[in-house]
Structure 1
């Protein structure tokens, strides 16, 4: 390196000396201004702090008085002194609250937050009491030590009492004094700290001034050449070039470090992209893409070595019910717990080479290849069914879901990845058909079962037009006089070659395929057209007709318009049409359901909840989603006389529904003792085979005319 000339060095030293003199002068001015500023800040802050504390205590007192007035309305109206006391004590424990007094409309004390309430029923005698008792809106009174906020307690337009919240002004003044003292101490600390920093910076300037003389002589060529070589490595695909360590604090040093950070960021992003492409975002498991690639490689290796592979296709049972009733956040939490249990089971019984992946939704796939694959698959499937049938705790609730598992083997069942996955899916579906929460091995016969289901879906598409679908009616009776007051519409399918197909089979096919959105409106219109022709009963009342509505129809949002069109076109009075919705369909999205039910109510029809008690909801939800009636599920009715729990639950449902003004219907009555138990407990309506089997429209007319 070539040294600087003496003239340049002298001029540089003189320039640095002049700069230091200027800096010292600036420091002196800054220190003087800092002292003056501290005095000014103390003066202004004192008034600001006083205003803030005063405004805070006033606004807090008013807010507490308003909140307590609203919260105490119901407890005071129902004379719930325990609840009143709890609210008063909770507020009294808050900072700077001196007292909380609840009084009746005559100014007599009801509660002061104490356990005994010694002055209960006595008139308040303090100087501020008359103003508080006379308050018809928020009244704020002040004494030297207390800021009294009085607020009437209203139920509608009726004043049933009032509440006083006293804020301790002396405590506030003490807090204000402490704040001013703390502020002064902090200002002094800041001043000392600033002085230290200024002196430190001054020293650093002296050091930097000396170092600059050396830095101006250093070359830039070597760092730039190093960066150019690193750029060529990155261009060639090597995202981690070797850069020489550089501790320089100038622009070149920062450029070298920035270039190093950039190369690290590119390498990290490359890893993250690969991770995102091959990993499930929710569970962290291998995703479908990565699993398929791994499966192809494992199959290739298995063909070469003559080894067998086992694939387990697991699907959560009734997972959609979790999303519909508890929301998607709860669904994600359930999926995470589910994935953790599957991972633990695979680690325990799957072998070292087991691969677990989430295929999306609630589907998980496991590939095993160690030892006796058939025995290992059976052992793992049994473990999964056992572990996954245990309850999940989601948002404080126990959920019993279980899993359906399909097992298929290579090369026994398939020779390629696509067929192997398809066979696993088919076997899983058969496990669901078998009752869920079990496992099934793939067999050739399962292909025929899937074909039959597809065939049934195709046949169902034209069944209505061909006259294969017909309506029957399940009579509904009033319990107090056993008189028929309405009917529930049931759909039956008589296929010319397949024979009578159970509703549980073809309704599920219609739901899964979306055909229910076509069949449902036709059933509704046909039922209305039939019911409008029925005669009135002997007491002059018209029979109502109750029609089941699919959750798909409700979620589509077109149900209110469809109902209005049917009523207008058929002439059936709206009061004679009842709609039955499943509990999960209504509770799934309460805001949407409430809006749709409001539209339905404006048409004049009534809405019932079917199979009530089988979902995750409760009667509390009925306040948000108003319905006219609930149908107690037949599973409760069947065991009432043998199971005290079912009887107690049924009794509670009837009592609570009546308290909400909701009609209660019991279904599945097959014995007289069941009818008597329900009648004694005030159940309004009943239906079941003991009362009447489903009948045709002609038989409905005959029953009406005969007065039976």
Structure 2
């Protein structure tokens, strides 16, 4: 049973169809065979009864006149009947008057008893008996003058039935093969969609490809199962996308969050090391946002953050990544720059655009709000070769510009890290931001 339980469904369905067809065929064949055997048995019995009456009629005059030779001639006519093994004519006293034996007669057929009842109307199957005995009285003028006993062998009946049984068995085998052929095809109507469903389930479970679908149509139970499974995958994919969105994006601004920014930064640096390219990291902090949030309320503050994030997106390239790190802090990742000088040049241009754009008044909830921004910039590989170093240096540059009066941007330079307590260390003469590093006046 365990082997059957673990077998593929196509084999189970084929086995069920074959067993059903097999039981039906066996029962049908058994009924037909019994009917056929009974008919053949009835034919043999009727034929032997007719022969016995014919011989009895022919032997009547021989018994009446005591002519044994004539009685033997009457019995000799039975030699033309291959079923007859033995026959005896008895007189009125039960003595043998004439006898007939064939080569196939057995020892039990040599002594026939006229007093024993015959089998002219046997009950049951003769196939289980050794022979068929038919006893017929010989009557003259309503007086019994003798008896004839005829014994028929059943070998020919059995031989004929065996030939017919072999032929019937061949028909059953051919019918079984045809049934197996159609069963193996018909079971695919059920097993193939289920097999595809199981394969899709394994694929989705292994690679979490919720866009994969089970091919199949129909309004039956299997079709409804496939439609339900596909609908479930749609719901799982939608929920997974929502979870991914929540896990990697800021719910307020729809920008990527700090976690996703850090992951992308590591990926960008690894690719830049392989390709020998450059990049830049910007930290953007909104000046005076806390005052707006405290005086106008959090709802207005949230709208201001959304508006500011949209301006930041408009100032960067499509290939750049903008993230909200938390509160009023944002970050920009510049990727795919060919050289450090190009990275510094593009970062300078974008930082200047950001400062100018964020300094423009915002119309939020019917109010005109004024803020500014402080931006720190660090470039790869000039200002750091790993993520932590770049982030730390950009953050340091941002705080330096805040200390200098806000509303501007500052490119990191190495001397900045050693300037403890100095509100603003001027950049070296060869810095690309010698002129632009000064804060923009409020």
Q: TM-score, with normalisation over the residues of structure 2? A: 0.49
Q: TM-score, with normalisation over the residues of structure 1? A: 0.31
Structure possessing the higher radius of gyration over alpha carbons: 2
> Which fold has the larger relative contact order, with Cα–Cα distance below 8 Å and residues 6 or more apart in sequence?
2
